[in-house]
Amino acid sequence: MNLAVRDIRHSLGRFVLTTIGVGMLLMVVMGMGGIYRGLVDDALVVTRGVGADLWVVQRDTRGPFAEVSRLPRSLVDRVAAVPGVTDAREFVFHTIQREHRGKPLRMGVLGLGWPTDKGEGLPLVAGRPLAQNHFEVIADESLGLALGERLRLGKDTYTVVGLTRWLVASGGDGIACFTSRDAQAIQFDEPGESIRLERQARRARAGGIDFGRTQPGVLERASGPSGAVAALPGPAVSAVIARVLPGAKAGAAQRAMSGWGDVTAYTGAEQEELLLKGSVDRARRQILLFRVLLTIISAVIMALIIYTLTLDKLHPIALLKLIGAPNRTIVGLILQQSLIMGAIAYGVGFALGTRLFPLFPRRVLVTNDDLLRLAGIVLLISVVASLLGIWKAMRVAPNEAIG
């Protein structure tokens, strides 16, 4: 006869309520782990999705995810010429917040290197990759945009042609993929009035010097579009990404670029490490600490619950000793109850979590490894939690049953 089960059956309501409470606590522990995993995964989803062997960024910067990096578009050709590099593309990434349908819409803007990259490698769940150089966008479904929906950004209107799932930036914002030209147009969009004022200022500056006054053509060019002024740089890209020949080592190409004074090159692994150690690291450590705290709190609460349940059973425990029950029977009664509570609470936490986590605004990624690890922790907590109750039970004298 299993005494633990009999005792649970006797006070089923209280046990169930207590277990649900512990289960919800474990769900939070599970969720914190999931948020941590989600954060890391979200942070790496773009770098892994791009699949670059090399990230070439502005000299002494840590890349487009850590800080502003501006490079001339012409760098693509220079990188492509390095021995061992099979292809090089522009990488444009920035975050914008605009208004759409009367609500704020915050998104990461990712530029795809058209025509090499049309977004075929993206995790599409609906629609298609980009089919033209301009005015099309592949949006993550977390942005709430529908296929065929039109989105006004700057001076242009873009049509949603594809939807992805869980393509988000490290900050949790959904990513929208444009061609790199469109991404730059969105990034460097200026109002018409600002352009007119800038042209006027340039004309005034050119008119203020002899060269401008004597050469009307110069004055006319200075007041024209900025792209036509040779002295002005074109829109910058955030980085240049490159792939190396199959079997070749990225390190060789990286060493070749190390002599260039204007850029720094990172391998894909280095870029991931920079990302995790930089923007994500503090949040990651905070969540980890919070998770540890929650685990300790769960252990303390479980210990108190088991201890209280044991206090309620002191008379039956004394009685069991009186009729000669060995200590292992009494230890088994308390330990099994603790383990049953831990196991059911774990199940409750898992069941609730799988239903609630998808409703969270950010991804909660619960992996099988994490579930197994948490199961081990719950097992340990259950054993530790029962120790206080066992200690109390061992101190009960059999004659307390007849006192």
Partner 1 sequence: MGEHLALEVSGLTKVYGRGHTEVVAMRDASMRVRRGETVALLGPSGAGKSTFLLCVGLINPPTRGTVAIGGWPMQDGPRSLGDLRRFRREHIGLVFQKSNLIPFLNAVENVQVVGELVGRPPSVARRRAMELLHALGVGPRALNMPTQLSGGEQQRVTVARALANQPSLILADEPTAALDSKRGRQVMALFRDVAHEHGTGVIVVTHDHRALDVFDTVYEMEDGVLRLATRAVIDAAVGQVRAR
Between 96 and 319, whose beta carbon lies closer to partner 1? Answer: 319
| End-to-end Cα spacing for the chain | 27
C-alpha–C-alpha distance, residues 334 and 306, integer Å: 8
The verdict on 359 binding partner 1 (CB under 8 A) reads: no
Between 159 and 327, whose beta carbon lies closer to partner 1? Answer: 327
C-alpha–C-alpha distance, residues 8 and 26, integer Å: 20
> Using CB under 8 A, which of the segments 45-53, 121-129, 231-239, 323-331 binds partner 1?
323-331
The verdict on 324 binding partner 1 (CB under 8 A) reads: yes
- Dihedral of CA 298/304/308/314: which sign? positive
Site string for partner 1, 5-44 (x = CB under 8 A): -xx-xxx---------------------------------
Opening angle at CA 397, ends 394 and 403, nearest 5? 145
C-alpha–C-alpha distance, residues 269 and 258, integer Å: 17
Tokens (6 digits) for 376 = 């081990």
Q: How far is CA 295 from CA 24, 28, 272, 374, in A?
A: 12, 9, 29, 9
Please select the residue that binds partner 1; options are 124, 248, 299, 322, rule is CB under 8 A.
322
Please select the residue that binds partner 1; options are 25, 320, 365, 378, rule is CB under 8 A.
320
**Residues from 326 through 345 that contact partner 1 (CB under 8 A):** 326-327, 329
> Using CB under 8 A, which of the segments 69-77, 260-268, 378-386, 394-402 binds partner 1?
394-402
Site string for partner 1, 278-317 (x = CB under 8 A): -------------------------------------xx-
SS3 content of the chain, % helix, strand, coil (to 5): 55, 20, 30
CB of 323 to partner 1, least distance (A): 6
Between 129 and 398, whose beta carbon lies closer to partner 1? Answer: 398
CB of 317 to partner 1, least distance (A): 9
The verdict on 354 binding partner 1 (CB under 8 A) reads: no
CA 351 to chain centre: 23
**Residues from 93 through 112 that contact partner 1 (CB under 8 A):** none
CB of 24 to partner 1, least distance (A): 26
Please select the residue that binds partner 1; options are 1, 228, 231, 359, rule is CB under 8 A.
1
CA 344 to chain centre: 30
CB of 18 to partner 1, least distance (A): 16
3-state secondary structure 240-299: EEEEECCCCCHHHHHHHHCCCCCEEEEEHHHHHHHHHHCCCHHHHHHHHHHHHHHHHHHH
C-alpha–C-alpha distance, residues 170 and 46, integer Å: 9
Please select the residue that binds partner 1; options are 80, 248, 300, 319, rule is CB under 8 A.
319
C-alpha–C-alpha distance, residues 257 and 229, integer Å: 30
CB of 167 to partner 1, least distance (A): 55
Residue ranges that bind partner 1, judged by CB under 8 A: 1, 3, 6-7, 9-11, 315-316, 319-327, 329, 398-399, 401-402
